[in-house]
Amino acid sequence: MNLIFLGAPGSGKGTQAEILEKKRGLKKLSTGDMLRAAVQEGSILGIRAQGYMEQGKLVPDALIIDLISAVLAESDEENGFILDGFPRTVAQAEALDGMLEMNNLSIDHVIDITADEEILVARVAGRYSCSKCGSGYHDEFKKPAVEGVCDSCESREFTRRKDDNAKTVRARLQEYDKQTSPLTDYYIKRGILRRISGMQEIDKVQADIARYLDA
Ligand code: AMP
């Protein structure tokens, strides 16, 4: 089964994709993670993408399309994949259609996780993660049990994404509204869009997704 996850920053799509990856063996393909790794490595892609990412802007389509087409051409996932953060523009969705056809693949469901803007901003602006194991935390909504110590691996080092601050998140939400939300119509027309409220507890969102996948 192959899925696309749509949803603004802070909607919880990354968290939900991670849970599905563990539960159902679907491979999470996150363009945001790939780009952050490229920035970390200092590759040409990373150097080109970094400025856009830090300003909360979308990286140019051509860079992302090249990146994901290489990933899909090599993908031999037994249980399928979840595209997390791609496509984000109509041009990317059209390019994806071509890549799927070329690789004899198709998308079963497009999961669109929605939430109110103020909730999205509050979630994103306060989030951080353990530098060692990647466990996610939040200044307000999910503090570690012992302050400054990771619940999962007891590390004392944490990191925050450079673009997870109140100013940049507003820019990212604007990009989402302008460039990515038209994709819901694109997939409604194909009859594969499933809209889910991301204002609920993590388990409830996961249960709503599971209902579609198991239907
Ligand atoms: P994310 O981790 O999905 O929130 O992505 C972080 C940043 O990476 C975004 O704000 C964009 O700058 C860039 N990015 C990730 N995926 C895409 C994409 N499909 N198209 C353009 N830019 C992207």
Q: How many residues does the chain have?
A: 215
CB within 6 Å of ligand 1 — which residues? Answer: 9, 31-32, 35, 52-53, 56-59, 64, 85-86, 88, 92, 163, 172
- Please give the Cα distance from 93 to 20 (Å, whole number): 22
Side chain identity, residue 148:
G
Which of 6, 31, 161 should be mutated for ligand 1, with most atoms under 8 A from CB?
Answer: 31
- pLDDT category, 77, cuts 50, 70, 90? confident
- Please give the Cα distance from 128 to 148 (Å, whole number): 12
Please say if 88 is a catalytic residue: yes
Task: Evaluate whether 185 touches 93 at the Cβ level (below 8 Å).
Answer: no
Please say if 13 is a catalytic residue: yes
Residue 157: exposure state from Cβ atoms within 10 A (0-12, 13-18, ≥19): exposed
Q: What percent of the chain has pLDDT over 70?
A: 100
**Angle of the 166-175 helix axis to the 117-125 helix axis, nearest 10:** 130
- pLDDT category, 76, cuts 50, 70, 90? confident
pLDDT digits (tens, 9 = 90+) for 139-154: 999 999 999 999 999 9
Number of CB atoms found within 10 A of residue 145's CB = 7
Q: Please state whether the predicted TM-score (pTM) of the whole model is above 0.85.
A: yes
pLDDT digits (tens, 9 = 90+) for 82-114: 999 999 999 999 999 999 999 899 999 999 999
- The alpha carbon of 146 and the centre of ligand 1 are apart by a number of angstroms equal to 32
Side chain identity, residue 73:
A
Q: What average pLDDT does the segment 27-40 reach? A: 96
Side chain identity, residue 34:
M
- pLDDT category, 79, cuts 50, 70, 90? confident
Average pLDDT over all residues of the chain? 95
Cis bond before residue 9 (omega within 30° of 0): no
Q: How many helices (H) and strands (E) does the chain have?
A: 9, 8
**What DSSP assignment string belongs to 5-54?**
EEE-TTSSHHHHHHHHHHHH-PEEEEHHHHHHHHHHHT-HHHHHHHHHHH
- Please give the Cα distance from 11 to 145 (Å, whole number): 24
Please say if 172 is a catalytic residue: yes
Res 172 pLDDT > 90: yes
